[in-house]
A and B are shown apart, each in its own frame.
Chain A
Amino acid sequence: MSDVSPYAVPAIVLITVATLAIGAFGYRISRNTSDFLVASRTVSPRLNASAISGEYLSAASFLGVAGLIMTYGVDMLWYPVGFTAGYLAMLLYVAAPLRRSGAYTLPDFAQARLRSTWVRALATGFVVLIGWLYLVPQLQGAGLTLSTVTGAPAWVGAVVVGVVVTLNVAVGGMRSITFVQAFQYWVKLTAIAFPAMVLLLVWFHRDGAPPPPAPAEWVVPLAGLPGEHPLFATYSLILATFLGTMGLPHVLVRFYTNPDGRAARTTTLVVLGMLGVFYLFPTVYGALGRIYVPELLGEDNADAVVLVLPGAAVGGLPGDLLSGLVAAGAFAAFLSTSSGLLVSVSGVLSTDVLGRWSGSHGSVRDFRRSAMVAGIVPLVLALQAGGLSLSTVVGLAFAVAASTFCPLLVLGIWWRRLTPVGAGAGLLVGGGLSGAAVLLTVLGPPLDGWPGALLAQPAAWTVPAAFAVMVLVSLATPGRVPVDVGRTMVQLHAPERLRLPQR
């Protein structure tokens, strides 16, 4: 970009240093997991909801959604709607029972419910896969942001965020800091909402509210989508986002910090409100971007619209200041989401892989080594992958989550007859099919027609396949239903105020 705001780099440095500082401070006051867990029981639903929202609003939400809306139009509104409604599905089927299960991670849940170590191992594998898939676009977004505001090559930003987050997590900074993530939500909301309101004012008062110059297929649903089967793509995207949220590893961990099942419900409700407010704004950037920065459309980097638009539309010192603000917000998004993901991935790597290997069962040293591995792999992938839009890759991560952990959680919580064999088979089929579709989409040759449509948005067939396999194989192996399923069900569903003695 030609005009660079002089405030962008200082703003990015400021937000990074603030994050590291709060992280370091938190490390001093909470040294081990049990400190964290005890403290967590006092976290109020509102603080917890800010933390969940802060961790959840990623590069895809902050930059990607606006870019997609600007390029493709109204159909892309399904992304933010789905990212939000995913918490509704979580509320309906998962939130309270999961908190009551006492499981801290998805592998913990799998083992507690099914009493099977190999299902646990499978779940671990998919946590790592989904975490990495979700980390790649965060790092790409960081590269894009830094190259947009400074003109540096794209790999610089990815390396900066990758290294900062990895070191921070390895040192223990972000581990337990609900407060940091909560702070990041308000940073991001301010950074997207305030410039958006200024932009709307400028558009309305100074320029007389011109309509966005756009062809009809941008305004009307199903006309502007790439590919030949827009209706299928839309439904598949709806299914992936509505059902995928509950399977994201970094989301689930935060539910453990609720004091009880009831608080878990309240927290989810507040999250829905917070996300709803945030997602009103990317649309503003997408629509106004058509008016003020149409040159982004041709260049295949519409993801930068949020960063460039304030400077282009407002101009002068106010424009520079607003550009600095959105750049800081974008970095807050990369830092918080990647930290959350990295903590989850290195957590399961250290307890389930390294710990088991070395026999030390998740020591702090294992956690640090895992954080290094967990951070370097997506960094390498991010440097290799190019050309895919941020929200597309995130959408694929949602599809894998919806095809694996959604059936595991929903059937595990509500269906007594689920067996370890059935759950494992379903995970393998759902994860294998959706994972293969992701690989072919990202690495394979471009495909047309139905094969292309089915692979680009796989959820519509991989989610039902996973559910069907889990149910059918479980019915075929009735002897393998865990003997203590009755007790588990009581624990998952009985309200805490019954004061049942906990196990």
Chain B
Amino acid sequence: MDEQPPQRVRVVLAGGERRPRPEAAAREIEEQTPVGEVLVRGLIRTQLALALRVSLLVGLLFGVQPVLFALYPGAARTEVLGLPLPWLLLGLLAYPVVFGIAWAYVRAAERNERHFTDLVNRS
């Protein structure tokens, strides 16, 4: 985990007595005004587009393997670092690759949320 200077996130539980007044735009979101509706729709669309892009990448990285090895059986016999290529790809490399993609996704998703929060607080 990246242990950057922790950015404190205040979680306000329901029913707190001294809750700060919601910002104007936050109130618009809360009250489902057309402006708030547009803001949230924008965030959902951005996050969904990000998730779909990452899925496409993962689908390509993993999805092509069975077809590739079915079409080119020779490739399956190639040895890399003393291991047959498919064993290396699935047995070893798959895990760091998945982790790396997940790590990059988390950073991007949080960036999207930060932009959204900034946008709401500025307006």
Contact = CB atoms under 8 A, between A and B. Distances in A.
B109 A265 contact: yes
B32 A487 contact: yes
Interface size class of B (residues with CB under 8 A): 35 or more
Nearest to A235: B66
A336 B53 CA distance: 35
Interface string A408-420: 0000001000000
Interface in A471-503: 486-487, 489-490, 493-503
Contacts of A41: 11
Closest 4 CB pairs of A and B: A276-B95, A77-B90, A92-B51, A495-B113
Interface string A45-59: 110000000000000
B94 interface: yes
Contact of B95 (A89, A280, A414, A501): A280
A81 interface: yes
Nearest to A97: B47
Interface of A: 41, 45-46, 74, 77-78, 81, 84-85, 87-89, 91-93, 96, 219-222, 231, 234-235, 238, 259-260, 262, 265-266, 268-270, 272-273, 275-277, 279-280, 283, 414, 486-487, 489-490, 493-503
Contacts of B14: 501-503
A39 to B, nearest CB: 14
Nearest to B69: A221
Contact of B96 (A77, A78, A276): A276
Interface string B37-50: 10010011001100
Contacts of B117: 495, 497-498
Q: Which of A41, A74, A234 has the most CB of B within 10 A?
A: A74
A486 B113 CA distance: 18
B92 interface: yes
A265 B102 CA distance: 9
Contacts, number: 156
14 contacts: A77-B94, A81-B94, A221-B65, A222-B69, A222-B70, A231-B70, A262-B110, A265-B106, A265-B109, A414-B48, A486-B40, A489-B40, A500-B29, A500-B30
Contacts of B1: 45-46, 266, 269-270
B40 A269 contact: no
Nearest to B55: A92
Q: Which of B11, B13, B19, B29 has the most CB of A within 10 A?
A: B11
B2 to A, nearest CB: 10
A85 B58 contact: yes
Contacts of B47: 493
Contacts of B102: 87-88, 91, 268-269, 272
B41 to A, nearest CB: 8
Contacts of B103: 269
Contacts of B70: 221-222, 231
Contacts of B48: 414
Contacts of A81: 62, 90, 94-95, 98
A499 B66 contact: no
Q: Which of A220, A283, A503 has the most CB of B within 10 A?
A: A220
Contacts of B87: 74, 77, 219, 283
B22 A499 contact: yes
B28 to A, nearest CB: 11
Contacts of A92: 51, 54-55, 105
A74 B86 contact: yes
A499 B29 contact: no
A476 to B, nearest CB: 23
Contacts of A493: 40, 43-44, 47
Contact of A490 (B10, B29, B101): B29
A308 to B, nearest CB: 21
Given A220-B69, A235-B66, A494 B29 contact: yes
Given A77-B90, A93-B51, 12 more contacts: A41-B11, A77-B91, A92-B105, A219-B87, A220-B73, A220-B84, A231-B67, A269-B102, A495-B117, A498-B22, A498-B29, A503-B14
B22 A501 contact: yes
B9 A490 contact: no
